[in-house]
Amino acid sequence: MTFVSQPTSTSDARPNVADVLIVGGGAAGLSAGLVLGRARRSVLIIDGGQPRNAPAEGVHGYLTRDGIPPAELVARGRAEVEHYGGVVRDAQVVDTRRDPDGLFVATLDDGSEVLGRRLLIATGLVDVLPDIPGLAPLWGKDVLHCPYCHGWEVRDRRIGVLATSPMSFHQAWMFRQWSADLTFFLDDVFEPSDEQWEQLAARGIRVVRGPVAEVTLNDDGRMTGVTLADGTAFSLDALAVGSRVEARIAPFAPLGIVATDHPTGMGTFIAVDEAGVTGIPGVWAIGNVSELRTQVSTAVAAGNFTAAQINADLIAADTAAAVAAYRARATAPATAAPATVSA
């Protein structure tokens, strides 16, 4: 793996050091890689191959790409990044550190190491689903979480909403926009307030108490409904579930990256500012790993914006280095001319 440093880059001070090391090759990471490549930066993207949306049949709500399979979107994104000189490598980052020169060193699962002047974390989230038999195999298919991602596909069908936290009320409130046949399963984990009970009744949303024991499937592996612990069965075509999410950050702990509990209780994330700055010098984070509610289109936008901030930071560093070198040359003593001997 060899990087060709452009005239605007100082990464050629050390061979095979990328200007920007991006960990995570989903929509956010690839978008950042594309912008940085077009800015003539050397980019290395390490992709662990575990995109959150892999089970989904298509990406929705993304202008000009509505319905595109997630794998196809990634393949197109990789090709565009590589067109501008970026390198995408399939591997897992297992550890990170900073070397004495201030470079970021990432250790991969094969034991090799890669280096970058700046580090961008775009590793996404892991969904932790309720431990209910039959639920996990349908995740991203008949078991859904986002009405804007999947609501149209289940419109006017029999939809259930499984309570997993107080936020589940909002999920039921939202999915009612797509279907009048909606059932809210409290699952013994949530009790609506008096105001919420009134809202549920006014919108015609059925409410069922008692724990859900099983998600039932037909011979084709599609959902038929849910069964409660007391044996009561309900026929459904789809079930909305608010999973708990956990940021993929373990390899970055040695750098000081920590998980922050989201105020909604949805899970953990990396706290950043509006530009994706983590507070650790030289480290940015974008996409779901830093914003739990990010969709593909907004992840692409975040990658675009943060890439420009990283490039500006590198320009400032390159300029500072150039000024220091310029001053050193200007103050260096002139070399004495050789003495001449007359005949």
**CA–CA separation, 20 vs 306, rounded Å?**
12
Q: How far is CA 160 from CA 164, 174, 293, 316, in A?
A: 13, 12, 21, 53
What tokens were used for 223? 């959902």
Residue 232 has pLDDT above 70, yes or no: yes
| Torsion 51-53-58-63 (CA) sign | negative
User: Average pLDDT of 180-208?
Assistant: 97
**CA–CA separation, 131 vs 146, rounded Å?**
20
Q: What amino acid occupies position 23?
A: V
Lowest mean pLDDT among 45-54, 229-238, 248-257: 45-54
What lies within 8 Å, CB to CB, of 44 at 6+ separation is 1, 3, 18, 20, 21, 22, 86, 87, 89, 114, 116
- CB of 294 closer than 8 Å to CB of 302: yes
Residue 315 has pLDDT above 80, yes or no: yes
Query: Between 337 and 44, whose confidence is greater?
Result: 44
Query: Between 85 and 13, whose confidence is greater?
Result: 85
**CA–CA separation, 176 vs 153, rounded Å?**
14
What does pLDDT average to over the chain?
Answer: 92
Q: What amino acid occupies position 91?
A: A
Which residues are bridge partners to 95 per DSSP?
Answer: 107
- The closest of 95, 125, 124 to 108, measured between CA atoms, is 95
**Residue-level pLDDT at 14:** 62
**Residue-level pLDDT at 264:** 84
Q: How far is CA 56 from CA 21, 60, 70, 93, in A?
A: 28, 10, 7, 25
What tokens were used for 16? 């095979």
What lies within 8 Å, CB to CB, of 231 at 6+ separation is none
Helix (H, G, I), strand (E, B) or coil at 248: coil
pLDDT tens for each residue of 81-126 = 999 999 999 999 999 999 999 999 999 999 999 999 999 999 999 9
H or E, element range at 98? strand 93-98
**Residue-level pLDDT at 11:** 47
What lies within 8 Å, CB to CB, of 216 at 6+ separation is 134, 223, 224, 225, 226, 227, 233
* Size of the chain in residues: 343
Neighbours of 259 (CB within 10 A): 17
Q: Are strands 182-185 and 159-162 parallel, antiparallel or unpaired?
A: parallel
Q: Are strands 113-121 and 17-23 parallel, antiparallel or unpaired?
A: parallel
Query: Which domains, and CATH codes, for the chain?
Result: 11-127+244-321 (3.50.50.60), 130-241 (3.50.50.60)
Residue ranges of the alpha helices (H) in the chain? 27-38, 70-83, 147-150, 168-175, 194-202, 296-331
**Residue-level pLDDT at 5:** 39
**Residue-level pLDDT at 332:** 83
Query: Between 8 and 283, whose confidence is greater?
Result: 283
**CA–CA separation, 287 vs 289, rounded Å?**
5
**Residue-level pLDDT at 46:** 98
**Residue-level pLDDT at 339:** 57
